[in-house]
Chain A
Amino acid sequence: MAAALPPFWSLVEAHGDELLVHARKLAGEQHAEDVLQEAFLRALRAYPRLRHARHLRAWLYRITTTTAFDLHRVRRREVVTDEPPTVPVEDDHDDGGFEALIAPLPEAARTALILRFVEDLDYDAIGASLDCSPVAARQRVSTAVRSLRERLPS
């Protein structure tokens, strides 16, 4: 079997709080907990199939992001449209959903999100990579998350 994966709950305890903040930014206070619960359940479904235990935090951020968008689509469909439901499966570390989600963003935003949530870099390293300070790096990621949020049609 795969490399030793940590007990799943240790990820919930270590990263749950910050993931809830992320879910709030994307889905709003009202839906944040629903998004996060669904994201953790999707992560559990995929967890035993992971081939390594690296960058699990970034992986959870990506799942939370795609889940926020999927649940938003479901809610909209219930209200106004009749698009067919999409049932995404996070098969592995390379969940295509996240990349597709950020594809329409401006390049600067996309780069910031990839460095943070795919490459799993901290703000020091992102700053080094973008040739700016860690504070500025944090700001760029935060701006990028906001532009992602704006793509959620209201």
Chain B
Amino acid sequence: MTPLSDRFLESLAAAAVHDGLADAVFTRLSTPIGRLLVVQGAEGVVRVGFEEEPEDRLLADVAAGVGPRIVASDRELATTRDALSAYLEGDSDSLALPVDLRLARAPFRREVLETLHREVGRGATISYGALASRSGHPRAARAVGTACARNPVPLVVPCHRVLPSTGGVGSYGGGVARKVALLELEGVLPRRLPSTG
């Protein structure tokens, strides 16, 4: 059986998006921090997954939250792909992508992530406690930690910039090594390896 060609698949996805038949579009992307799965809806990025996450389960979660009409297309998400690649390869200083936090189902978590997305830019960091205060819940540092750990859109909502006030980098949904790599990329931590740039 000849497999469907990429040209056919791209054409199908483009027609689906054009006809308003896609609830979300996803793309797979190779980056310096590993392969990413990026899912985007009409309003913005709804989900970013690291390569350890099983793709079928991730997409099933998105289908349950956003709708089952999910199609794949590199071309429809070209802008998002370019922005993420440029950022992770150090060619761009900011990652300003629209985000759709529908998958952060609890309103509290959504508030925390919105605050983080809006207020903590590249090169800056914030403690769990300070993020709790800034989101209007000064006593909820621990719950802020949970909100960050379950962030459906890491990188785009920069939970890697949230650090414990006691020192160290703390934990990260995508693993501590990735958090360190991102903080190095953003100049918060000194690079361990000489830059080749």
A6-B63 contact, Cβ under 8 Å, with A18-B1, A48-B69: yes
Q: Is the CB of A41 within 8 A of B16?
A: yes
A70 contacts B by Cβ under 8 Å: no
Q: Is the CB of B3 within 8 A of A44?
A: no
Query: Of the candidates A8, A20, A37, which one forms a contact with B70 in the assembled complex, judged by CB atoms under 8 Å apart?
Result: A8
B52 contacts A by Cβ under 8 Å: no
Measured CB to CB, the closest approach of chain A to B42, in angstroms, equals: 15
- Chain A contact-residue range equals 20 to 34
A48-B4 contact, Cβ under 8 Å, with A40-B12, A41-B19: no
Q: Is the CB of A9 within 8 A of B60?
A: no
A94, B59: Cα distance in complex, Å: 27
A21-B1 contact, Cβ under 8 Å, with A37-B12, A44-B21: yes
A8-B3 contact, Cβ under 8 Å, with A40-B12, A41-B15: no
A5 contacts B by Cβ under 8 Å: yes
Query: Of the candidates B22, B26, B56, B64, which one forms a contact with A4 in the assembled complex, judged by CB atoms under 8 Å apart?
Result: B64
Q: Taking beta carbons and an 8 Å cutoff, which residues of B are in contact with A?
A: 1-4, 8-9, 11-12, 15-16, 19, 21-22, 26, 56, 59-60, 62-64, 67-72
Q: Taking beta carbons and an 8 Å cutoff, which residues of A are in contact with B?
A: 4-10, 12, 16-18, 20-21, 33, 36-37, 40-41, 44-45, 47-48
